[in-house]
């Protein structure tokens, strides 16, 4: 099994914070490099891809490229991709199966550092409004308390 986090495909700090650290629109539009995720991971691992993928692109702590070598996926490998905003239109058709974690703004605020709460909950609200991910997911898990997740049955 291969694992990739969208957090390893952040854009440089100068782009993420161009409009300040609290701007929800910037949090939604500028933080994650979804095109790089497609180019470096999903396309190479998809049908007709080379199988040579990049496990991470950006080191957010050092604010520079990870400079990792490409890895070669074994035949039949399964990728688990985690992160927010993965059902945006840019990612349309790129994922075979989707688990959407449904959380309320209150639950998100409880888990976030106070300085990030407005940006993250605002960006997430925009994501929900623009993409409506729950009906498009294969499985929806209500995750108000991570110790007690619940599968939502339609």
pLDDT tens digit sequence for 47-77 = 999 999 999 999 999 999 999 999 999 999 9
How many structural domains comprise the chain?
1
Looking up residue 116, the CATH number of its domain turns out to be 3.40.50.300
Q: What is the pTM of this model?
A: 0.90
Mean pLDDT for 91-115 is 93
Query: Does 145 score more than 90 pLDDT?
Result: yes
Query: Does 21 score more than 90 pLDDT?
Result: no
Mean pLDDT for 17-42 is 94
Beta bridge partners of 5: 82
Query: Does 154 score more than 90 pLDDT?
Result: no
Structural domain of 45: 2-151
Tell me what the pLDDT averaged over the chain comes to.
95
Strands 58-59 and 79-82: unpaired
């Amino acid at each position: 099994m291969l694992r990739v986090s969208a957090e390893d495909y952040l854009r440089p700090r100068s782009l993420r914070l161009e409009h300040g650290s609290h701007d929800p629109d910037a949090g939604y539009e500028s933080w994650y490099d979804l095109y790089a995720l497609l180019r470096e991971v999903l396309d190479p691992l998809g049908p007709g891809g080379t199988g040579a993928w990049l496990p991470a692109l950006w080191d957010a702590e050092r604010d520079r490229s990870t400079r990792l070598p490409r890895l070669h996926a074994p035949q039949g490998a399964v990728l688990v991709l985690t992160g927010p905003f993965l059902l945006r239109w840019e990612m349309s058709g790129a994922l075979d199966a989707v688990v959407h974690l449904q959380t309320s703004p209150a639950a998100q605020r409880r888990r976030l550092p106070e300085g990030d709460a407005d940006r993250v909950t605002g960006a997430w609200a925009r994501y929900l409004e623009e993409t409506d991910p729950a009906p498009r997911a294969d499985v929806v898990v209500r995750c108000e308390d991570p110790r007690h997740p619940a599968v939502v049955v339609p």
